[in-house]
Amino acid sequence: MGPVEIAGFGANGMTMPGTELRRRIRFVERLVLVLKGGVIAGAALDVYPVEPLPADSPLRTLDKVVLSPHLAGASTDVVRHHSRQIVDDLLRLERGERPLHVANPEVFASTFPG
């Protein structure tokens, strides 16, 4: 097992959903070592083990790291789109139809059978 695998990242790179990255990024020290050792070319992060990222974090000292806030839902388009989805699903419920966007279908099925 090499340093990339030890750090918790696949050998062919790293693309993970935020929750998975948040879980794995607790190994910040290992990520810093992998970056300093040149095992991976760089990292772009928007999720941190502690938010906001502390001023003394070693990630802030590396040229190979791009840090940004986690703002995926901060645009007016996202708010408009999500609002439309919610309204559409509420209208479907009112008509007796199953909503399209159900986060926990098992709960919906037990609450609204058929």
Give CA 27 to chain center in angstroms.
Answer: 16
The active-site residue out of 23, 30, 70, 92 is 70
Cβ-contact 47, 70 below 8 angstroms: yes
The active-site residue out of 22, 23, 30, 92 is 22
Cβ-contact 33, 63 below 8 angstroms: no
Query: In sequence order, what DSSP letters do the residues of 27-70 get, joined into one string?
Result: GHHHHHHHHHTTSSS-EEES--SSSSPPTT-GGGG-TTEEE---
Q: Is 23 a catalytic residue?
A: no
| Type of residue found at 68 | S
Q: Is 94 a catalytic residue?
A: no
The active-site residue out of 5, 20, 29, 51 is 51
Q: Is 29 a catalytic residue?
A: no
Please identify every residue annotated as catalytic.
22, 51, 70
